[in-house]
Amino acid sequence: MHETELHDLSDDSDYAASQQQASGSIMRCDLGKSAVSEPNGSEVVYSKDNVTIHPTQYASERISGRLLLVKQGSSLFMSWIPYKPSTDGVGYMSRSSNSCPMEKDRSLYTIKSLPLSDVRSIRRHTPALGWQYIIVVLSSGLAFPPLYFYSGGVREFLATLKQHIFIMRSADDANVFLLNDFQDPLQRSLSSLELPGVVSVANRASLRDSLSSVTSADNSERVNQETYDGSASTSEYSGRHKHKAYDPARDLSIQVLEKFSLVTKFARETTSQIFRESHNNGFSPYEKRQQNNYASPNLVGTRPNDAQKNAGVTTVASDPLEFDKLPLVWGKQRETPLCLEEWAAFLDSEGRVVDSKALRKRIFYGGAEHNLRKEVWKFLLGYHEYDSTYAEREYLAAVKKSEYDIIKSQWQSISATQAKRFTKFRERKGLIEKDVVRTDRSVSYYEGEDNPNVAVLRDILLTYSFYNFDLGYCQGMSDLLSPILYVMKDESESFWCFVALMERLGPNFNRDQNGMHSQLLALSKLVELLDSPLHNYLKQADCLNYFFCFRWILIQFKREFEYSKVMRLWEVLWTHYLSEHFHLYMCVAILKRYRKKIMGEQMDFDTLLKFINELSGHIDLDGTIRDAEALCACAGENGTACIPPGTPPSLPVETDMGLYPQDDDVL
């Protein structure tokens, strides 16, 4: 592997200019004085207000705060402290919005006392339009969400770093600045990946007291950001279905999703801090491990081989919910699938669904016969409204067919000469063509060479990449589309059903991975609620990131069950009958079913990941659905509280997707 060339920062014009201002603007920052000394000897050497994180694409959900560099002795620490909401109930981020991030969302993204010795690189982004931002990549390869500098200051921030730590610029990318260890080629490779973000890291007790006073200053001195409340910024995100502004940080690294199922011991180390702050409550990892260590002392800290030898004498904590008995009390037996006669009984003379809740309940407990799925799935996915008539649905099909053809023609009309100058199109087209030829080829509908259905699968995905150009195509989408096309047997209807599904699951594929992180965090909290001994074991084993469940959530158990069973499961999930996050209770049910093996054999992350992957094709679907129903009923409102609002898959704000024409009141 070619060793990456490194250069000093002296050849960067930004830094040459900033050095002349260092003693003034950098040290002055936003505090109005050269530096702030704290009682314990720490010193704030840089402070910048209005540094903002964008958890979602909506302006009302942005979180602004203060970015700090604090020097203590020879060590430098970075913190980002979000502002507290104003006491008058009007958010400083969007005065025209009635919503603002909840307090727990703010604390989720807080960065407290991150040692710069743990940082591998910092990438600077300077878009032609919009704000400058940086992405901080840890030595582990994980990254924090982008930090947007609304009031400028990226140049001063990097120049301050150079004054206190060793920082060099990579020859491979002039905007990547490398810190600390430059000798490890594996770390050098990971620094360029900018893997999706860690939301926070463990608190550092040594600086907690010194930062408390700075936090107080934050709340009293914060700027209201009038420019951020401007109408242009607000209107850009006012509708859920409006096009999102281009954000370079959203482009998904092609290799990331493909490699998640192959995570190794290195991945365990790199992901172990994702949720640590949420569970450590300010203690160091070692202190928390000692407090929550349920296993016998002679097994604590043993190597994997030692754990296997002692597996026979390991005492597994009992299940607090007596899991094996729960379905006898709560979970109902699965019923036969919905048949044609029953389906007809749910419709009135004009084709409206009379009782949508009863229909969703019936499908939740029994699914639908395969010959009905073509109609039923359109309702479950939101492509059809429950109160639409036969005539309305027929008209809709014609309108959407015409609209689909127009979108499809956009990429079909691109000539070879144009394609040479359209890098994004070539990349997405190549990735789609590579993925579709290996998607469900064992299913008769897609098997064989030159299968026309595989070509249709490709065309739909290419058309979607033009319909939702911001998201485009990501690996895993072909897995979600395949069963839909298999059922619909119609290109246009398959496309619009896929669009409806991606309205719910699209955040799973965002570049910053916020959708996946929120679901994994919610899963962690549900396990803590429903099986605290298992939660404590996973904490001890550094598995609280729940990365071993990533594939389950990303593509909704698509590769865990046979093709026919996947369709049955998706029908259950799409009903949103008990919970729109029933898939998370499915995850808990599977983990609880195998808890004795996981805990008894003292599985570490690598062993657990291998074990979970090998469960594919061996999970009892009906039993797991019953178990998940029982867990959902037992969790009740407490379970709902574990899941942050907006966690995918949630129903779109506009449930009809704009498919049905609305009456125009203004004539």
For 547, phi and psi rounded to 5 degrees?
A: -65, -20
Q: How far apart are CA 566 and CA 554, in angstroms?
A: 14
What's the pLDDT at 28? Answer: 38
**Residue 347 CB neighbour total at 10 angstroms:** 15
The token pair at 560 is 């865990």
Nearest residue to 65 via CA among 46, 82, 53: 82
Nearest residue to 432 via CA among 479, 494, 467, 500: 479
Q: How far apart are CA 384 and CA 400, in angstroms?
A: 12
Domain ranges, ordered by start, for the chain: 2-281, 340-509, 514-642
Buried b (16+ CB within 10 A) or exposed e, 383-404: bbbbebeeebbeebbeebeeeb
Buried b (16+ CB within 10 A) or exposed e, 213-244: ebbebbeeebbbbeebbeeebbebbeeeeeee
What's the pLDDT at 635? Answer: 86
Q: How far apart are CA 77 and CA 59, in angstroms?
A: 29
What's the pLDDT at 375? Answer: 96
What's the pLDDT at 585? Answer: 96
Nearest residue to 628 via CA among 593, 595, 594, 586: 586
Angle at 293 between CA 289 and CA 299, to 5 degrees: 110
Number of residues assigned to the chain: 667
Residues of the chain with confidence (pLDDT) below 70: 1-40, 56-58, 86-106, 128-129, 181-331, 650-667
Angular region, 242: left φ>0, alpha ψ -120 to 50, beta rest? beta
Residue 178 identity (one-letter amino acid): L
Residue 126 identity (one-letter amino acid): T
What's the pLDDT at 322? Answer: 60
Instruction: Please name the CATH architecture into which domain 2-281 falls.
Output: Roll (2.30)
What's the pLDDT at 14? Answer: 43
Q: How far apart are CA 12 and CA 19, in angstroms?
A: 11
Q: 340-343: long-range contacts at Cβ-Cβ below 8 A with a sequence spacing of 24 or more? A: 340/369, 340/371, 340/372, 343/368, 343/372, 343/375, 343/376
Q: How far apart are CA 478 and CA 344, in angstroms?
A: 32
What's the pLDDT at 266? Answer: 38
Judging by beta carbons within 10 Å of its beta carbon (0-12, 13-18, 19+), is residue 315 exposed, middle or buried?
Answer: exposed
Nearest residue to 45 via CA among 16, 14, 74: 74
- H or E stretch at 46: strand 43-53
Write the pLDDT tens digit of every residue in 339-395: 999 999 999 999 999 999 999 999 999 999 999 999 999 999 999 999 999 999 999
Eight-class DSSP state of 506: G
Q: How far apart are CA 136 and CA 323, in angstroms?
A: 42
Q: How far apart are CA 666 and CA 663, in angstroms?
A: 9
The token pair at 324 is 């094996």
CATH class of 340-509: mainly alpha
First to last CA, the chain: 68
CATH, domain range 514-642: 1.10.472.80
pTM over 0.95: no
Q: What is the DSSP string of 62-82?
A: -EEEEEEEEEETTEEEEEEEE
